[in-house]
Structure formats: structure tokens, C-alpha cells
Amino acid sequence: MTFPFVLLSTLAGLLLSTLSICAQTLADRLGYPPGTRLIVVHADDLGVTHAVNAATIKGLEAGTINSASLMVPCPWFPEIADYAKSHPDADFGLHLTLTSERVYYRWGPVASRDKVPSVVDENGYFHHDWEQNEHIDAKEVEIELRAQIDRALAMGVHPTHLDSHQYRLIMSGKELFDVILRVAHAYKLPVFVTRDWFADHPYLQSSLGPDDVVVDHTVTIEPEVPPEKWTEFYLAALKNLQPGVTEFVIHPGYDDEELRAATRERSTWGAAWRQRDYDFFTSDQFRQVLAQQNIKLITWRELARATALR
Amino acid sequence: MTFPFVLLSTLAGLLLSTLSICAQTLADRLGYPPGTRLIVVHADDLGVTHAVNAATIKGLEAGTINSASLMVPCPWFPEIADYAKSHPDADFGLHLTLTSERVYYRWGPVASRDKVPSVVDENGYFHHDWEQNEHIDAKEVEIELRAQIDRALAMGVHPTHLDSHQYRLIMSGKELFDVILRVAHAYKLPVFVTRDWFADHPYLQSSLGPDDVVVDHTVTIEPEVPPEKWTEFYLAALKNLQPGVTEFVIHPGYDDEELRAATRERSTWGAAWRQRDYDFFTSDQFRQVLAQQNIKLITWRELARATALR
């Protein structure tokens, strides 16, 4: 009676190999030796203003910023889409956007406005912000996300990943997270999610499947850091970097007339903030720390291969 | 048989008074002595970029630019709407916009996109331009114009007049001119039309009624004028100014990073062009010529009274 034994041993083998895949980190799957520290230096908000486009392009061309995501509904999207077309190797994702958080300079949906009434305010712009009691319709969100991706594709942008402006689609509950995940699967694109968020938002982990890319950690500077501690904050983050993949979510831009005017109602994520991010992530100091600490850069294009390698 | 005679004499009187109203110029109706030379120094395109808003506000506050019109669909409309709310005496009209003529920086309709398909391109922006064979649906144009005016009103702008970006609604035939006229009448606003255009576009004169304001002349600089002849062009126009009301259609702006980037695909109506307009119309030289030549400034708010005075 050898047959049941063979079956049992095959099943046990399958189980072991599945467990071993589950235990494998992103870095393992991509073939990096244990302990390797990898970072995505990811610029958010391309398309929002010219000053953000221009600064990020300079950082990408300097090589120390290596990934970015684009806001399709924003007025300067055509400029960055044009750049993406002529730089097909650039690691550009889409920064899916459902809010228009500024006061003097605003934007609205890509989808036809009357198809997405719950995401627009009384003047037809995206809401400034989502209040606790705001009813955001998940079906309309899906229509708008698909419209943003379709416009990007039509304009020659081939995104390597998706993420969510102000984390609205990550932090607003399971229903909206499932929308971005469903859309990502439909377009075969990874979504930026990190294990760091699982404790506060358990639905993330339960919704994700084995084929989804999950970044180990993320670092982003917060308003609590005073301007004079900017460099210190980032240097500490790099010094304390854990093995695996960490995404640095940064917001480069030039502190010029346009960006100052566009963000003047508050200093958080404003023009001076963005200039500080630009300055640090294009500095020789940053480049030297990467070399000294043997920290490697990795793009979303490479991370997406982890799924293909399974 | 005195009755018919009285009737006849009343009719004759009415006829004479009508003829005299018809013969009255705008300036006559507003009570200016014969021969008075009046100009509206009118800045176009507010809302298009921050550099245009900031330069025009400076010119308005200097007092030598005295009227302007706002592009409601454009990204920086909220900034100028906010200014309009806090400066209710500013002479602001709406620069009704149906094209998105730039390459790297664009905008689309205020109305829901699927209600105005003929005015948008395949990516959902207004067409770059209207080609000869473009079918622009007049009913959709009316929907979009009303949406622009309604958004302006909802955001606290109380326009003194209407005009048409790139003269699209003036120069594209009787059907579209009748739309802007109908909308203007519905909102009780004057539309910028000048007699100078009647010869080339006879439908303008035949569509206009006795209650419509018609400006006598207009002056606007054209690409044929080389940069070094800018001042000379405007000085000659002021020297040769005819009696009556003339609108100077100008395009002030700052030649800065934002405006250079937004207009970089061609120099016409570009950043340097707009800086030259700003420089001339805020110069002491312009102010001195106005005084020397006894040229008076007049706003659209005042012109609108001509109709009320009839």
C-alpha cells in the first residue's frame, strides 16, 4: 500500500514549500542575501505643480530619488506624462487622488462629475478632505480610479505601481481598501502597502493575498519634526534601517512663487517642507550615507518581479 | 379732427427720440462730453496661473489696469475668486473658456464631462483648439457657459461682464454668438463686443439688440509686433485713440518659472509677452500719457449703466 504514503509525502512537501514561500521576504524572493537593506526613495505628488515636477525630475536624474507617483487629476499631469513618455525606464506609479486639499489652487475628478457625486464638493472639486461623516461611495471611487488609470495609459504613461494620495484608500476602512486592491489586480499593478500599518488597520492584512507585494517598512517625515532637525531625522532613519525593503515617502519640490502660493494656507507639506526634502535627498551627504551603510536602492519595477518570481 | 394729428406728432416724436438714442454713443449715454476718449484697460486670463493672478492684482492695485476677466475652469480660479470676494469693487468679468490651448498644463469643463462631449478631447480636457471641422455643439456650449457662471456665483464672484477666451464664441459663427448672448441676457450681464468686428462678422450686429453694450473700438497687440516695439505700439495706439470707448485687451503676467513652463511650447501670449504687457501697463510712462492726452479710464461696471440709462 505505497500509494497513500506517496500522496502523504507529496502533500507534506507541498506544505513545506508553501510555508517556505510565506516565510520568504520580498528581498529573499528577489535574490538578495539575508540582511540586505533596500530602500525605495519615492517622491509623491508629481503633477500637482510645476515646482514639484521640476524638482523631482532633477532628483530622479541625479539618481538618488529613484521612484515617484503621478497625480492624474492635477493640472500639471500633462507635463509629467510627457516626461514619462520620453523616459520609459523611469519608475513612475500613479498616486491615486480623491481629495483636493488646498485652498487657492484645486482640481476635480477625471471621471464625469455626475458619475462620482460623493467625491466632489458643491463647486465640483474633490473634497478638501474627508470628514468623519462624509459618505464616500465605493462604487464611485472605483469609477474614478479606473478613469485616472485609463487617462494615464491613454497619455502614454505605463505605471509600475499604484499608491494613494494622503493614504485615503488605505486608512479609510476595508471597503475602500478592497476597491484599490481590486483595481490594482485588474490592471496587474502592485499597490504600496507596508506591514507597518497592519497593527492599526488589520483589514489590510486580511484583504491581501499571497501575490500582493508588501513592503516591510516605511519612513516619512511628520509635522512634529522642526525644520532644523530635518537632516537629523533622515540620518537617524537611515542609521536605524532594518533589513528588507523600506519605502521612504518624500515630497520634493522647489520653494518658489508657484509652490508657495499653492500651499500658503498651511506649512505642512508646503513649499519650504518640499525644498527641505529635495535638498536632503539630492545631497552628497545622502549619497555618502547610502554608500557607507551599504544601503541599496530598489524600484517598484523590481519589486513587482517578486510576484512574478513566486 | 385733431386726434390723428396728435397721434402723428407723438409718433414722430417717438421716432426722433429713438433715432437720437440710436445715434447716441456709449459715452454720450454715460454723460461724457462729445470727443471724450475712454479706455478699459482689461487684463485677460485671470485664474490661468498664479503668475497671471499675482501680476494682474498688482496692476489693479496700482490703478492703471482697471478691469479683468476670470477663467472659471482653470486651476488657479479659487485664488482669484477669493480675491474677488474680499474686493467686491474690483471690475471682474468672466472670461468664458472652452479651449485648453497649452501642452504641459491643461484644464477641462466645469460641467459634467458626459454632458459636453463635443467640447472635450479624448483625454477629457477642453480641445487644444477648434479645428475647422470640429463639431462644437451649441447646446453643450450653453450648458458649459452656465456651469462656469454658476460656479463663479457660488464661489462669491459677482461678475460685471462676460467675454470669450480666444474670442471663440465671437468669431465662430452666429450660432455660438447667439449662445453667449442668450446666456448674457439670462444673467443680465453685458458681453464684450466692439464695432471693429462687425465688418468681418456681420452676424454680430444683426444679433445684437438695442440694450446690448457695444464698445466702439479695441486694441490688442499681435505676434507681428517684435518685443522691442512693444512700448512704441501701445504709445501709438494711445496717441491715435479715437473718441468713445476703447477696450485695451492685455495679458499681464510675471515671466517666472511657472509661467515659462506653462507656456513654453510657443512664445505667443507666453511668459515674456505677458511680462512686457505688465511692464507697460504699470509704468509711469503709461500713467503720464493718460494724463497728458486726457484719456479717462472706464470700467465694465460703468459701461453696464449705459443700458440701464436707456
| DSSP letters spanning A201-220 | -HHHHHH--TTS--BSEEE-
Region of poorest pLDDT, from A42-56, A282-296, B21-35, B69-83: B21-35
Query: Inter-chain contact B78–A106, Cβ cutoff 8 Å?
Result: yes
> Among all residues of chain A, which has the CA nearest to that of B111?
A113
A128 close to B (CB below 8 A): no
Which 8-state DSSP code applies to residue B222?
-
Q: Is the pLDDT of residue A1 over 70?
A: no
CB A15 within 8 A of CB A41: no
Confirm if A107 and A78 have CB atoms less than 8 A apart.
no
pLDDT number for residue A131: 80
* pLDDT at residue number A19: 46
Q: Which residues of A touch B82 (CB under 8 A)?
A: 103-104
What pLDDT, in 10s, does the model give residues B2-38? 555 555 566 655 554 444 445 578 999 999 999 999 9
**pLDDT tens column, B134-175:** 799 999 999 999 999 999 999 999 999 999 999 999 999 999
List Cβ neighbours of B264 (8 Å cut-off, separation of 6 or more): B104, B270
Within 69-88 of A, beta carbons closer than 8 Å to B belong to 75-76, 78-79, 82
Beta strands at B217-219 and B162-164: parallel, antiparallel or unpaired: unpaired
Residue B75 φ then ψ, to 5° = -60, -30
* Cβ proximity of A115 and A148 under 8 Å: no
Reported pTM: 0.92
Average pLDDT for chain B: 93
CB pair distance less than 8 Å for B75 and A105: yes
Closest partner residue to A50 (CB to CB) among B54, B125, B257 is: B257
Reduced to 3 states, what is the DSSP secondary structure of residue A94?
strand
- Band (A308; pLDDT cuts 50, 70, 90): low
Q: Could you tell me which of B165, B217, B213, B153 has the C-alpha nearest to residue B189?
A: B213
Inform me whether the pLDDT recorded for A170 exceeds 70.
yes
Confidence of residue B307 (pLDDT cuts 50, 70, 90): confident
How far lies B269's CA from each of A205, B220, B250, in Å?
A: 53, 11, 10
A124–chain B Cβ distance below 8 A for any pair: yes
d(CA B132, CA B172): 10
Residue among B105, B113, B256 minimizing CB distance to A79: B105
Identify the residue with better confidence: B66 or B25: B66
Residue B174, pLDDT score: 97
CB contact under 8 A, B257 and A51: yes
Where would I find the H helices in B208-299?
Answer: 230-239, 257-262, 271-281, 284-292
The pLDDT-based confidence of A7 (bands split at 50, 70, 90) is low
Hey, is A92 helix, strand or coil? strand
Name the phi and psi angles at A266, rounded to 5.
-160, 155
Residue to substitute from A105, A125, A259, interface B, most B β-carbons within 10 A: A105
CA B1 to CA A191: how far, in whole Å? 96
Q: What is the mean pLDDT of residues B200-205?
A: 97
Q: What is the pLDDT of residue A152?
A: 98
Tens of pLDDT along A259-295?
Answer: 999 999 999 999 999 999 999 999 999 999 999 999 9
- How many alpha carbons lie under 13 Å from residue A58 in its C-beta half-sphere? 17
